[in-house]
Amino acid sequence: MVKRNSLRNWFKSGAPGVWMSAGAVSIAVIMTIGLLAVIAVRGLGHFWPADLVSAQYAVPNQESSVLVGERVEQEQVPRARLKSAGLPVPDQGPEFMTRELYKVGNRDLNPSDFNWVVGEWLTGQSRPADLMTLERREWGNFYGYLVNVKEGGRVVAEGEAAWPALQARIKRVEKLADELYTLEKKDIGAINHGIERLRLQARKLELDGRLDAAAQADMAAERAELDARYKVIEARLDGLHQAFDRDSLTARDGNGKEIELSLGKVVRAYQPNAMGTLTKLGFYFEKLWEFLSADPREANTEGGIFPAIFGTVMMTLIMAVIVTPFGVLAAVYLREYARQGPVTRLIRIAVNNLAGVPAIVYGVFGLGFFVYVLGGSVDRLFFPEALPAPTFGTPGLLWASLTLALLAVPVVIVATEEGLARIPLTLREGSLALGATKAETLWKIVLPMASPAMMTGLILAVARAAGEVAPLMLVGVVKLAPSLPLDGNYPYLHLDQKIMHLGFHIYDVGFQSPNVEAARPLVYATALLLVLVIALLNLSAVSIRNHLREKYKALDN
């Protein structure tokens, strides 16, 4: 009886609910950490220079071949499954056999750069120190042996001297590639921007009836100056391209087939089997930095994702700048000025319901209203000289940010209203009693004290908006943007340009990539980076919120 009463008292005390809540929170935290750990291991492991394996692959009743590549995955599969796949598997033997996935590269020589092989048919596995990996700007990796290095078609190094000569010439090509990038993207880009500006200026003067001989002469002189600059750069480009394609190498794959490759198509060359742990660690961070700072290549399955990082952060910041004042003003009106009645309650219900509208609906609205209606009107009013080519009447950074702001504004309104409701009425009355107007009370007392709640709404808005993908596919995000929306050309921030986004990049690489196996590690790495970017933005807002909370704690007490 005593035990029964103590058990009843324990339930009445609420302790079971506390323990259940703590257990649920613990499970959620463990699952979140576990998910992030899986993403981190699978994504970050992609940048480690894996050893290359060379082995004889002897399929029964077929001619054997040499397999060279990175072992990616290994699994045990039923013998019957291999047999049903058309492999010449004997009827007798163990129930399970080993199946291994190798990245064999050499896409220009092989039909596929990822192959599944039967582990029991591999013999004589070794890791030769002179096996090399060539990372190329196209056609993926090449795995094989270095035969010689050529300059202008003439062999300049072979044997043991070939590898140092190759590394020196790759560094030379890398410097030339940087100079080519600067000339093509920045210098020529600035000239093209100037020529386009002159064209639009002439068209605008023509529409206004002010295209006289003096204006034409001024524009002709400026255009001639741009043409002269372009000819100088063009001559420099011709020389760089000739120097860029001067060197080449001869490589041999595992089966003895030789191929000549221009060093202009090689990003880096390394021999992973000959690298020590510290060398591999340095290589790892070099690859990781390339992933964060370089442009993508090979249909987004190679290179870096810096344009996607930049686009995500830029769009989120613009969205935050737009959504905060509108959300705060709406909340202030509903809480401080609007008469509390059926209409106000109906507006609050509508705001709450907006938070549950599917994101793709916002995308369709953004495309129809922002892009076609608002953007088309802006083009007709302010950019008639560019028509029929659209300026703002096409998806771009501004419309993507506005669409996300529209999606996130209900969150800011609700959070700000809750913050305003928590401020004691006595503070308002005291301020008014001292002679302050209602606007002064609101601006100097109420809003500063409600600022932590505003930051909470902004944090929630950023967390939701930064990870959205569906609406962005309609209003400004593309697979590959030719340039960043921020550059040295006036007006410097180009809100009409399309951008890349980490969320869309994950979708594109994971589901639209022509090479699924090569894209899989990048999906994990990009997903981890997207989580980190959102966390960094949120932590920045949390830091500001905590600072404001401490600043106005005395007034709250």
Pair type for strands 65-78 and 131-136: unpaired
H/E/C letters for each residue in 538-557?
Answer: HHHHHHHHHHHHHHCHHHHC
Pair type for strands 114-118 and 122-126: unpaired
Q: Which of 115, 124, 113, 109 is nearest to 66 (CA)?
A: 124
Tens-binned pLDDT, residue by residue, of the chain (557 aa): 556 667 677 677 777 778 888 889 899 889 989 988 988 888 888 899 999 999 999 888 888 889 999 998 888 988 888 888 888 888 777 888 899 999 988 888 887 788 889 988 999 899 999 999 999 988 889 999 999 999 988 999 998 899 999 999 999 999 999 999 888 888 898 899 999 999 999 989 888 888 888 888 989 999 999 999 999 999 999 988 888 889 999 999 988 899 999 999 999 999 999 999 999 999 999 999 999 999 888 778 888 899 999 999 899 899 989 998 999 899 988 888 888 888 888 888 888 888 788 889 999 999 999 999 999 999 999 999 888 889 999 999 999 999 999 998 998 898 888 888 888 888 888 888 888 888 888 888 888 888 888 888 888 888 888 888 889 989 989 988 878 898 888 888 999 999 999 989 988 888 877 777 778 888 899 989 888 888 887 788 778 777 777 776 655 55
- In the three-class reduction of DSSP (H, G, I as helix; E, B as strand; rest coil), residue 53 is classed as strand
Rounded Cα–Cα distance for residues 328 and 245 (Å)? 58
Quick one: DSSP state of residue 374?
I
Q: What are phi and psi of 483, to 5 degrees?
A: -150, 165
- Sorted by sequence, the CB contacts under 8 Å of residue 89 that are 6+ apart come out as 79, 82, 83, 97, 118
**Total-model pTM:** 0.88
**Residue 46 CA from chain centroid, whole number:** 16
